[in-house]
Amino acid sequence: MSVTYLWSREFLSKRLILWILLISNALGTVYGYIWYGGQLYNTAMEHPWWQLVFVPDSPTASLFFSLALIMLLYPPKQLAGMFFQQLIEALAVVTSVKYGIWAVAMIFAGASQGSDLVWQDWMLVASHTAMAVEALIFVKLFHIRWTALTAAIAWTLLNDTVDYTYGIFPYLPGPLYDHLWAVEGFTYGLTLFSGFVGWIAVKRSLSKPLG
């Protein structure tokens, strides 16, 4: 068996592969929301409730990817369901690439400023790298279109704006709070980069022959 077969649509679309990935992402999503428990509690105590949805960035990205996998396993039949699938897939790609790279970058940026790297950091590096990689690999199975991609980028930019306007961005390594303006700029730029990745996926999808 050729190694390239492991990246083929035929292999990636196997139900066993999709189920393994779904279970892994579902477990990671649950763990991610637990990880954000303290920040969610503090936000609920100190901020309006509507801001809670913008707090757990990475687990929400993982949730979008899990939903996208479910809809690959059980494709919607109705037109509304197909539009919803496109939106979820676009959100899965944009947010998984964005927050996968963002978390790894913040960990190493903090280390470069003197923060200690502990085993949890290495666990987060591995899991968030996997988030970005799996989105880039499985995007070939998705059905993303321009409208869904535009909505996904707009949502992610809104998330960035709420995070840094109201101070509910993910907790950072201590030294990075002195460079918050740079973190904010990097965050917005990474959203646009992730949207560009989604745009490439749309172009590839639209260029595929029908049938």
- The mean per-residue pLDDT over the stretch 165-170 comes to 96
Half-sphere exposure of 162 (CA within 13 A, CB side): 18
pLDDT in tens, 34-85: 999 999 999 999 999 999 999 999 999 999 999 999 999 999 989 899 999 9
Task: Please state whether the predicted TM-score (pTM) of the whole model is above 0.85.
Answer: yes
Question: Which are the contacts of 38, defined by CB distance < 8 A and separation ≥ 6?
Answer: none
pLDDT in tens, 109-161: 999 998 888 989 999 999 999 999 999 989 889 988 889 999 999 999 999 99
Q: State residue 207's pLDDT score.
A: 59
Helix (H, G, I), strand (E, B) or coil at 24: helix
Helix (H, G, I), strand (E, B) or coil at 180: helix
Q: State residue 206's pLDDT score.
A: 60
Question: Which are the contacts of 65, defined by CB distance < 8 A and separation ≥ 6?
Answer: 25, 92, 96, 131, 134, 135
Judge contact between 68 and 88, C-beta under 8 A: yes
